[in-house]
Amino acid sequence: MEGPQLLEAATKGRHEEVARLLSDRAGKAAINYTDEVRETALYKAVTFNHAGIVKLLLEHGADPNIANDLMYTPLHEAAQYGHTELTPYGLAIKKNHKKAAKELIKG
């Protein structure tokens, strides 16, 4: 199953493994897989400040609005931990501002 592998790779900052998992159909289908506390790969990547993985997951369609058991979204997590480089991008995605998100990706 790709979901648990994607969660682990995102948690540990394994960018190449995340990219590989997202390159096939099973990985794409598992992009919003949640663990026992409803945390996704995107949530894990934000928590551990893996900005490159966050961008990769969002580009592949990860849903930034999925909340965990405590009703925190990845954006809440970025703000709580001061991951300011993730917050503008997260806001652009959350508000569906595709043009702004693309500009932020260009950096």
CATH classification (class only), 2-106: mainly alpha
Q: What is the pLDDT of residue 89?
A: 67
* Token reading at 35: 């663990």
Query: What predicted TM-score, i.e. pTM, was given to this entire model?
Result: 0.81
Q: What is the pLDDT of residue 73?
A: 94
Length of the chain counted residue by residue:
107
Look up residue 69 and give its DSSP letter: T
Per-residue pLDDT tens digits for 92-103:
776 777 777 777
> What residue ranges of the chain have pLDDT lower than 70?
84, 88-91, 94, 107
Q: What is the pLDDT of residue 28?
A: 84
Residues 6+ apart with CB under 8 A from 21: 2, 5, 6, 9, 27, 30
**Hey, where are the domains in the chain?**
2-106
For 43, what's the count of Cα atoms within 13 Å in the CB-facing half-sphere? 20
Distance, CA of 68 to CA of 59 (rounded, Å) = 21
